[in-house]
A and B are shown apart, each in its own frame.
Chain A
Amino acid sequence: MRLTEIMALLNADPLVLDDGMDREITSVHASDLISEVLASCSRGALWLTGLLDPQIVNTAELFDLAGVVFVGNRKPSGGIIALAREEGIPILATKLTMFETCGVLYGKGLLPGTRGR
């Protein structure tokens, strides 16, 4: 599934768009803990989080993740958005809760990463 389809499914605001919007999402990870994502993600993974910290963007860039979805109607700061734009990391924001977001994407057949498991 592509990021553009995910955007529609989650009725999400595209806060930062990028030419990577057409990339295929390989897996989805839902966590507010960075090491938890790093333990199982791989390149092209999508990260769902409620944590608003610039380190999320840095980590997504470092590990070639496909993008970040901020869940639960959270509003990332201008600094986070500027950093994501600079690093070319797509950022979406949805009003859906973490639980609902996971439910929607899992229901559409998306799966967690299995690296390291």
Chain B
Amino acid sequence: MAASTHGPVLFRRSFKVVGSDFLNAGSVSKDIKKALKQLNVDAEVIWRALIVSYEAEMNAVLYAHECDITLEISHSGIHLVFDDRGPGIPDIALAMTEGFSTATREMRERGFGAGLGLPNIKKTSDSLEVTSTVGKGTRLDIHILFPQAQSKAA
């Protein structure tokens, strides 16, 4: 895949999100922000990584039972994987459509349900792969390239 990160992993961290835990919602993205800042990652790249991680983290909180998250950084970019146990997504193409949402009233009252999370992840990343099994769970595999790696790949 042209838009995937490559080369040795220089930094790796795992996180866990528990479904419906609104008290801690967003804390994984906050930790990712801290880590990327410490590693002196470019501010624009941090911004993009945070859009991706926040949208994916909130989907895990809203829809999944639990989710394992891994952050890997190489010279070429950031690799994020969100692997959840949950209901899965029956129609991925539909879920990727702007405005499509199954958010409940309660979720909407918390500010979710625009149906823009997955489309935001797609637009903001260099590559997004969604795989899902109904009744089992959903996996997002996401790459964000550093600007210099991107120009080399082009």
CA distance in complex: A32, B103 (Å): 14
Interface majority SS (helix, strand, loop, mixed), chain B: helix
Q: Chain A: residues with CB nearer than 8 A to chain B?
A: 32-36, 38-39, 42-43, 49, 51, 53, 55-56, 58-59, 61-63, 116
Q: Inside 8 A of A33's CB, which chain B residues have their CB?
A: 108, 111-114, 116
Given A35-B117, A38-B54; A63-B47 close (CB under 8 Å)? yes
Q: Are A38 and B51 in contact (CB under 8 A)?
A: yes
CA distance in complex: A39, B48 (Å): 11
Return the chain B residue nearest A64 by Cβ: B47
Q: Inside 8 A of A59's CB, which chain B residues have their CB?
A: 26, 54
**Distance in Å: Cβ of B22 to nearest Cβ of chain A:** 8
Total interface residues on B, CB under 8 Å, equals 27
**Distance in Å: Cβ of B25 to nearest Cβ of chain A:** 6
The 4 tightest CB contacts between A and B, nearest first, are A35-B116, A33-B114, A35-B114, A34-B111
Q: Inside 8 A of A32's CB, which chain B residues have their CB?
A: 111
Q: Are A55 and B111 in contact (CB under 8 A)?
A: yes
Q: Are A35 and B110 in contact (CB under 8 A)?
A: no
Given A35-B117, A39-B120, A116-B123; A62-B50 close (CB under 8 Å)? yes
- Give 21 CB contacts A-B under 8 Å: A33-B108, A33-B112, A33-B116, A34-B58, A35-B112, A35-B115, A35-B117, A36-B114, A36-B116, A38-B51, A38-B116, A39-B114, A43-B43, A43-B47, A55-B26, A56-B111, A62-B33, A63-B50, A116-B120, A116-B123, A116-B124
CA distance in complex: A53, B109 (Å): 9
Given contacts A62-B29, A63-B51, list 13 more A-B pairs with CB under 8 A: A33-B113, A34-B58, A34-B111, A34-B114, A35-B115, A35-B120, A36-B114, A39-B114, A39-B116, A39-B119, A49-B111, A51-B109, A56-B111
